[in-house]
């Protein structure tokens, strides 16, 4: 919530920077992979506000708008970079939340961040509409 950052780490760096991390979305498919790797992680336990299924969040371009349920809309701002705090939940979890991108470089897979464009109630099972921004599309980077 709010126009400027709220996360303690980012506030210490620059409390005037914009809050690009209002809503965290995470693909349930990552949780499935983590379960197969021996981690016991359930929806919501990695700090996400919305858990999706069947939508490749990481592949969306910056500026994509997601309609959640009947009236909520968020705009994708970037990738979530998992921090070492999640290792406190389960050892090795942070490392498991990284993969390799198309160029073979280490890339976070711990979901995406967004800002609220329109508020509304979001319920389990709600549909998600996707509105891509005008081209050229910008790939997601960590925010």
Total domain count, the chain: 1
Within a domain: 141: no
Within a domain: 102: yes
Domain holding 118, by residue range, is 23-131
Summarize pLDDT for 78-134 with one digit per residue, the tens.
999 888 888 888 899 999 999 988 888 999 999 999 999 999 999 999 999 999 999
In the numeric block, the tokens 């050229």 are attached to 136
Within a domain: 140: no
Record the pTM.
Answer: 0.92
Within a domain: 136: no
Q: Tokens for 115?
A: 């800002």
Within a domain: 117: yes
CATH number for 55: 2.40.33.20
* CA neighbor of 58 nearest in space, from 112, 133, 114, 132: 112
In the numeric block, the tokens 């509304």 are attached to 120
């Amino acid at each position: 919530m709010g126009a400027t950052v709220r996360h303690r780490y980012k506030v210490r760096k620059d409390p005037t920077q914009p809050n690009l991390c209002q809503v965290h979305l995470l693909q349930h498919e990552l949780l499935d992979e983590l379960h197969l790797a021996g981690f016991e992680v359930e929806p919501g336990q990695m700090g996400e506000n919305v858990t999706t299924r069947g939508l490749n969040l990481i592949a969306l371009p910056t500026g994509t708008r997601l309609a959640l349920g009947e009236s909520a809309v968020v705009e994708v701002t970037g990738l979530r970079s998992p921090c070492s705090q999640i290792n406190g939940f389960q050892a090795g979890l942070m490392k498991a939340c990284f993969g390799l991108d198309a160029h073979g470089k280490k890339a976070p897979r711990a979901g995406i961040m967004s800002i609220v464009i329109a508020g509304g109630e979001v319920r389990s099972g709600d549909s998600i509409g996707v509105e891509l921004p005008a081209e050229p599309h910008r790939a997601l980077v960590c925010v």
